[in-house]
Structure 1
Amino acid sequence: MIRKISIKFLIGFFLIFSLSFVVLNQTVKEFIRSSNQSLVTDELEGLKNNSSGYVYQAFLINHYSNNQLYFGEIAKGIAVDLNRMTDSSVGIYNLAGKLLYTPDRSAFPTDKESDLQQAIQGNTAYSITYNGKRTTVLFSYPVIVDGAKVGILRFHKDFSSLYQQTEQVLQITLYIALAIFAAAFLFSYILSRHITIPLVQLTKASNEVKKGNLGIRLHFKRKDEIGRLADNFNDMIGQISRQIDIIEKDRDHLKQLHEQEKLFFDNITHELKTPLTSILGYAEIIRTNGEKDPIFFDKGMNHIIEESRRLHSMVLKLLEVSRSNHVTQEWQIVDTGAILRDVCESMTLRAQRYHKQIQYNLADGLIVLGDPDSVRQLFINLIDNAIKHSLPGSVVSVRGERVEDRIQFVFSNPSDPIDSDYVSRLFQPFYFVHAVDTEEGSVGLGLSIVKSIVQQMNGTIDIANEHSQTIVTVQLIALTEVEMENRS
């Protein structure tokens, strides 16, 4: 397609220049022809006036009447004098067209040509003869003296120099015009390539994009419209690439969410099914045997109670996750430092049961805007998770401080190494890194609830496992003194 455009450019330029050259050539030729004809006519008209005046004076000097006989008698003298005066060959004719006298008979053919025929009829006429580089004119007119025709004067004049000069002017003009048109055609050809070559590259680039190659770019060092077109093309491809990357990320994210949702329902189905199956089995056996076996009866009842409590705790945590994601609470001023200090003290007994300790270092004035119960649950889950998953006999460290406009809490505990791929999935519901988690009665919702509470308070939470230490960092937005005064 672009090649056709280039060919059309060249053919169009060639036709335009060729037609212009032909028109210019014909126009110049016609102008020179008209100019030469005007010069010849003017000179012959002057020649006629001068020669007519000379003949008339010759008649007056000798006091002859204006008759043809006298014109024939003085024909030789007139011819010789006019030949010298006009630098032309002169022929004297009677009114019938018969040659009376001429110094140069070779200049006047014997046949009666058109100019002589016109003079015989009483008209003034001339004819031009081209013979190679020589151009001659035969000029005839009737001589009239006192209103009567007395004879015919005929001149043979050479205009070769005039026509040779105009011919040279014509050739020079045409050569200059040809050079100008050749230069214009060459410039047009270069200009057409300057335009069409980038279009060819743009077409190839667009074909590559159509094939899915979004890494192609155009590099034109130009500041004209084509340069801006290339820049816009590059920007467009870049924008398409970014949009495709976003779409692919969204697709992968949706796929991941779908997988997480499937895993969530699979896990919750399994977690709910296990205690229900156990409760149903013990209940059916107790209904069948009654109290015949007191030991089994007590064991079965205790198991039913424990599984029911586990099921109840699981349902409450599921409801908490749902409530954290959908319910907007009325927030209030919360002293997170005081709540965390109270939680650490209350969780000390639980830590001692696992032969572990809790050490905390909390600054004053850790004030945020939130829900006190949710904040307490946030700290309980984090510390409980640290106690359960820390190494035996270890110390759980809790630190709280203000960092610029944020309140930062850091929970760390010694632990077994955790692969980085697993760390990023710890906030997923029902996800366990180690199988021992299920033995502790966990249902895998603690960190999921923690994350939803932090997000609800517009905070951030990160977890890392480095150098046999699991570190959880929580950042909440600090409440300024002005905001506290406005809410007081």
Structure 2
Amino acid sequence: MIRKISLKFLLGLLFIFLISFMVLSQTVQAFIRTSNQDLITSELVGLKNNSNVYVRQAFLINHYSNNELYFGEMAEELGNSLNHATGNSVGVYTVNGEPLYTSDKSVFQQKESKDLQEAVAGKTAYSIRYSENQTSVMFSYPVVIDGAKVGILRYFKDFSQLYQQSNRILDITLYITLAIFSAAFLFSYILSRHITLPLGKLAHASSQVKNGNLDVRIRFKRKDEIGRLAENFNDMIEQISRQISIISNDRDHLKELHQQEKRFFDNITHELKTPLTSILGYAEMIKLNGERDRGFFEKGMNHIIEESKRLHTMVLKLLEVSRQVKGDDLEAVDAGAVLRDVCDSMAMRAQRYKKKIRADIESDLWIMGQTSRIRQLFINLIDNAIKYSWAFSEIEVKGLHADGKVRFVLDNPSDAISSEQLSKLFEPFYLAHSKDSEQGSVGLGLSIVKSIVDEQEGAISVISHNNRTVVTVEFDRLKAAEEGS
């Protein structure tokens, strides 16, 4: 009778094991496959959005009337730029699917072109290619400018690492599952041979549970599967705790991503606020004084026009802050003249904070750079000095020749900054004086300054001593431009 029960027990467990293993295997495979497709789709959507921003900027800046013709002319430049920016192989095609440029001809010579055919039909599509050691995606979509399709962009993106990692996870999961089911089957087999011994204790324990004693415990003085059951349960609880911790960390990471998105929009607000405040200040003064003070009227109107033009181009320039690459359109810039103009325009903002700006700037401070970026550099430095200096204080601004360099120094009284804070000042979103920060400020000013200085191949340093903060910026002196002037 015992053998018959054991046989039924073993056959039943074997059947349950096989069915459960197959269901779990298929479920895990389907989940990983769906997760991979969702991740690929998400990355391709981001790639498309970033590419569209770049293409629209190119068309907006050049104002071409024949967009399709311009797209063909800029195919190579566009392909090279997107290849460098995204790190993926890029193909540029006409609206009919004819190739204009490919960054890697061997990649785009494959016969499979279902995604390209879909793009010719006006759809966004991708196809996944599997080989022995490589998994890649061909992604195509039509480029639409002002409602008209002007061409097609096609990307080759390698997802081999993702699929290799997924396969490893799948293998590990299946191995662990197989090990657990095998162990359970073995434990059950041994239990079936010794079931008569613990049966009485189990019956007694079940009676106690039936009577409401939920604290009952079963302990066997033997080192077998039954004895290890309690240990396995504790290990299972530990594993669950670790999984909960992982889920919590993932949740915090998603929260941080949402915060990064919010900070991006705060960055735009931060960049637009200063010129808008200056325009508003001059407009209010002009409204009060009218044309009684003709000199101030002319000066204010000129300033409003200049700041309005700068606002028009600033939206396109904001995205370049994080690139930190050297500009190609460098020119000779009289940085001293730019600084004097910035000090003059920021004086009204300083007055709002009951502070003054005292400028001592030498002549002919010529450097190689971009006028708009140098101006943005000084605006951010002076704006920071105004916001974080003490009330009723004077901000000293100097520009001079020193040791074959052009040096700019901003010195203002402020709360002391520790060495640890100084080391983080140029990090994005870091606020050394967070309690005194202006509403809407997200700590991007000095990060922007650092990127501009790096672009112009300069150097910047900040020191805090005796309750004074001193910012020093140095650039190579452009002697040829100074002598020519």
TM-score category of the 2 structures, normalised to the smaller one: 0.3 to 0.5
- For normalisation by structure 1, the TM-score amounts to 0.40
Give the TM-score of the pair, scaled to structure 2: 0.40
- Say which one has the larger Rg: 1
